[in-house]
Amino acid sequence: MKKMLLILALATFSFANAQKGTILVGGNIGYSSQTADNDLVKRKSDLFSFSPKIGYQFNDNWTIGGEFAVSSSKETNGESVGKYKEFKYGAFVRYSVPLSQTFSVFADLGAGFQNQQTKTYDGAITKKYKADGIYVGITPALFINMKKGFGLNFSIGGLGYETFDYEINGTDVRKFYFNFGKTVNIGISKNF
pLDDT above 60 (res 186): yes
More confident residue, 180 or 45: 45
What is the Cα–Cα distance from 108 to 54, expressed in whole angstroms?
12
The contacts found for 30-39 with CB under 8 angstroms, 24 or more apart, are 30/185
DSSP 8-state assignment for residue 188:
E
pLDDT above 70 (res 176): yes
How high is the pLDDT of residue 147?
87
pLDDT above 50 (res 102): yes
How high is the pLDDT of residue 170?
76
How high is the pLDDT of residue 39?
74
CA distances from 43 to 80, 119, 174 (A): 9, 17, 27
What is the Cα–Cα distance from 144 to 101, expressed in whole angstroms?
9
What is the Cα–Cα distance from 17 to 19, expressed in whole angstroms?
5
Q: Tell me what the pLDDT averaged over the chain comes to.
A: 85
Confidence band for 19, pLDDT divided at 50, 70 and 90: low
Number of domains in the chain: 1
What is the Cα–Cα distance from 65 to 5, expressed in whole angstroms?
35
Confidence band for 169, pLDDT divided at 50, 70 and 90: confident
What is the Cα–Cα distance from 5 to 10, expressed in whole angstroms?
9
The residue range of the domain holding 150 is: 2-191
CA angle 122, 127, 130 (to 5 degrees): 140
The number of helices, as runs of H, and strands, as runs of E, in the chain is 1, 10
How high is the pLDDT of residue 96?
94
Element (H, E) at 109: strand 103-121
- Tell me which residue of 53, 54, 106, 116 sits closest to 82, measured CA to CA: 116
CA distances from 48 to 12, 96, 101, 143, 189 (A): 38, 28, 33, 23, 20
- Whichever domain contains 138, its CATH number is 2.40.160.20
24, 189 in Cβ contact below 8 A?
Answer: yes
Highest mean pLDDT among 45-49, 77-81, 179-183: 45-49
Mean pLDDT of 31-54: 88
